[in-house]
């Protein structure tokens, strides 16, 4: 299927009762979890090393390591960590599902299915039934896939991802009317989810509802300026309606964006095959960011951060992306850490000023811009900000 990614079951803490662990081990686990939530994967590995030194039988520590290695796309290490959890505590919440994800992302579908089926026996959660359906579909067992998706919906009809996957499955099977109904449910639950928006337009077009397709798709290219498919679908609909000049315009824009996407795809292949290569991860993150795919870019930056956590230039790029993602508090903390390490980092001062402006702290913003101007008044970025800064 085109868009399905099984949901990872995120467990903040394991099922080990706190009083069975030494206090210092519990502290390491708590800090490791906080580091994971912040995307500081190197810190998680360091802290879980400490936890395992104190208690080699800490299932919580191995589980957190499995989550980190999964995020870093180091599949074998993730598998080893989750198997260690199962050796220590076979009933540990989430471990069967997460191990299934490890196999799924390596396209080891039969191994993934075995884990997901065990997961639904242990805890009939909708996301595990969703995953079962996706694996059955990958194994070309459509009846079993449909039954699994339906079971997930029976368990939680508000679980949007399974409606999306079921709609995608029905479209692939050629059941367009049913797919449209299912996709409309997905859109009610997640109105701005781009894959569902595109599927809606594609299904309307396939069913011959040309004017409805045009009306539905028209606002999407402006909302998603870096995506080719909304333009391509709209161009097809316009062409079928006889509006050839406008259709040609959108076809041309789609072709240009597809060329960019093709180059980005080459970087993606390199990044996925070399998760341990710092510069490849950074280059791919930068490409994603230029294409407006900010969440995906952040994931790659965090992988790079795990490889070189002390790289200030990388920390700066993450901070500015956090600003773009409207996360001023985390951006401010990161920029302050950069400036604590290098108080002459001009771009960090300017970005800190931007954070202060966005959070209505004008005096602090002026001070930050002024500090940048005092450090290097001839820096091109300082000159850009100069109208906001006092004379050095």
For Cα atoms 147, 153, 155, give the angle at the middle one, nearest 5 degrees.
105
Please name each of the domains of the chain with its CATH number: 18-156 (1.25.40.10), 273-388 (1.25.40.10)
Q: What is the pLDDT of residues 252-292, one digit of tens each?
A: 999 999 999 999 999 999 999 999 999 999 999 999 999 99
Alpha carbons 220 and 340: distance in angstroms, whole number: 43
Specify the pLDDT at position 385: 74
**Residues with Cβ < 8 Å from 122, sequence gap 6 or more?**
91, 96
Alpha carbons 57 and 29: distance in angstroms, whole number: 13
**Residues with Cβ < 8 Å from 94, sequence gap 6 or more?**
9, 10, 11, 63
Closest to 219 measured CA to CA, from 230, 206, 203: 230
Alpha carbons 176 and 184: distance in angstroms, whole number: 12
Count of residues in the chain: 392
Residue range 38-65: mean pLDDT, rounded:
96
Cβ contact 75:108 at 8 Å: no
Residue by residue, DSSP assigns 89-156 as -TT-TTHHHHHHHHHHHTT-HHHHHHHHHHHHHH---HHHHHHHHHHHHHTT-HHHHHHHHHHHHHH-
Categorize the per-residue pLDDT at 169 as very low, low, confident or very high, splitting at 50, 70 and 90: very high
Q: What is the pLDDT of residues 195-218, one digit of tens each?
A: 999 999 999 999 999 999 999 999
Categorize the per-residue pLDDT at 58 as very low, low, confident or very high, splitting at 50, 70 and 90: very high
Mean pLDDT taken over the chain? 92
Residue range 12-30: mean pLDDT, rounded:
61
Alpha carbons 109 and 100: distance in angstroms, whole number: 9
Specify the pLDDT at position 217: 98
Give the number of other Cβ atoms within 10 Å of residue 390's Cβ: 11
Dihedral sign, Cα of residue 350, residue 353, residue 357, residue 359 = positive
Residue 68 confidence (pLDDT) above 90? yes
Task: Give phi and psi for 283, each to the nearest 5.
Answer: -65, -40
pTM of the model: 0.85
Categorize the per-residue pLDDT at 22 as very low, low, confident or very high, splitting at 50, 70 and 90: low
Q: What is the pLDDT of residues 80-124, one digit of tens each?
A: 999 999 999 999 999 999 999 999 999 999 999 999 999 999 988
Categorize the per-residue pLDDT at 383 as very low, low, confident or very high, splitting at 50, 70 and 90: confident
**Residues with Cβ < 8 Å from 24, sequence gap 6 or more?**
54
Residue 352 confidence (pLDDT) above 90? yes
Residue 11 confidence (pLDDT) above 50? no
Q: What is the pLDDT of residues 153-165, one digit of tens each?
A: 999 999 999 999 9
Residue by residue, DSSP assigns 331-364 as HHHHHHHHHHH-TT-HHHHHHHHHHHHHTT-HHH
């Amino acid at each position: 299927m085109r868009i399905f990614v099984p949901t990872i079951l995120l467990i903040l803490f394991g099922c080990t009762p706190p009083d069975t662990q030494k206090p210092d081990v519990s502290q390491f686990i708590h800090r490791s979890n906080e580091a994971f939530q912040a995307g500081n994967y190197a810190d998680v590995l360091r802290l879980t090393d400490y936890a395992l030194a104190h208690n080699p039988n800490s299932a919580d520590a191995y589980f957190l390591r499995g989550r980190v290695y999964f995020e870093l796309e180091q599949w074998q290490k993730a598998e080893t960590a989750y198997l260690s959890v199962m050796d220590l505590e076979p009933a540990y919440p989430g471990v069967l599902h997460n191990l299934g994800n490890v196999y799924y992302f390596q396209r080891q579908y039969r191994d993934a299915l075995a884990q997901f089926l065990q997961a639904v026996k242990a805890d009939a959660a909708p996301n595990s039934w969703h995953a079962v359906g996706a694996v059955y579909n990958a194994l070309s067992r459509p009846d079993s896939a449909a039954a699994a998706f339906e079971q997930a919906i029976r368990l939680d009809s508000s679980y949007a991802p399974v409606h999306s996957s079921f709609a995608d499955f029905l479209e692939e099977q050629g059941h367009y009317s049913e797919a449209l109904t299912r996709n409309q449910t997905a859109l009610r639950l997640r109105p701005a989810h781009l894959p569902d928006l595109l599927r809606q337009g594609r299904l309307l077009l396939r069913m011959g509802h040309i004017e409805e397709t045009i009306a539905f798709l028209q606002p999407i290219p402006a909302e998603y300026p870096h995506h080719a498919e909304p333009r391509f679908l709209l161009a097809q609909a316009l062409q079928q309606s006889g509006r050839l000049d406008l259709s040609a315009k959108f076809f041309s824009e789609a072709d240009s964006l597809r060329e960019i996407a093709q180059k980005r795809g080459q970087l993606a292949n390199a990044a996925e095959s070399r998760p341990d290569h710092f510069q490849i991860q950074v280059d791919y993150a930068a490409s994603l960011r230029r294409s407006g795919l900010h969440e995906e870019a952040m994931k790659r930056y965090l992988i790079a951060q795990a490889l070189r956590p002390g790289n200030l230039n990388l920390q700066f790029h993450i901070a500015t992306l956090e600003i773009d993602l409207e996360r001023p508090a985390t951006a401010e903390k990161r920029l302050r850490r950069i400036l604590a390490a290098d108080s002459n980092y001009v771009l960090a001062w300017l970005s800190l000023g931007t954070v202060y402006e966005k959070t209505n702290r004008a005096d602090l913003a002026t001070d930050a811009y002024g500090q940048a101007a005092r450090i290097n008044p001839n820096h091109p970025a300082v000159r850009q900000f100069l109208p906001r800064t006092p004379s050095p």
